[in-house]
Structure 1
């Protein structure tokens, strides 16, 4: 792969990451997703159970990783936040 091809591929990856950051948490963790992987109907309920107050990706990123990972492992079918987020991103991308 040439340098130009690699650069174009990396730029494309960055565009996809940027687009995912603009997807609302409610769209990413929709009711179907939450019911499938947890006992909650909404992502808001999931956050409230963990005593987290978050309405944006930035708010989520301000929660200490170990607290969020522990809550995800306890309340969902995922072992940590990254695996939950990756699955939500993959399912969202598949719907688009």
Structure 2
């Protein structure tokens, strides 16, 4: 099984804005699917991925917004608001749970 490439902040932004071209990557899974509400309720203190971003005061609406978020701030928010130590572990777990379905 091929390991899924970590999602960049630029990809995250495109996904949140609904601009990600699914045909670009046939194995692509949307963030709404990957971080579905029950995953978020199980592993975080948020009811949705949008709420999770809002709690971290991340205003993600433009490419500049996402690029301006230092990795350390996002990792700190993940560590504070979830069961995970950092964004990569959260993404890996969501990907693994999705793959197990």
**TM-score where L is the length of structure 2:** 0.66
Structure 1 residues 8-35: Cα deviation after superposition (integer angstroms, max 9, x where no partner): xxxx727x54555x21111100111101
- Counterpart CA distance in 1 for 2:43 and 2:65 is 19
Match of 1:41 in 2: 47
Match of 2:91 in 1: 85
**Unpaired segments ≥5 residues, structure 1:** 1-11
Q: Across the two proteins, how many residue pairs are aligned to each other?
A: 80
Gap change, CA 1:61 and 1:81, over 3 Å in 2? farther
More helix by share: 1
Structure number with greater Rg is: 1
**Unpaired segments ≥5 residues, structure 2:** 6-24
**TM-score where L is the length of structure 1:** 0.69
Give 2:30's match in structure 1, choosing from 24, 29, 34.
24
Give the secondary structure class of the aligned counterpart of 2:47.
Answer: coil
- Counterpart CA distance in 2 for 1:39 and 1:48 is 12
RMSD (CA atoms): 2.7
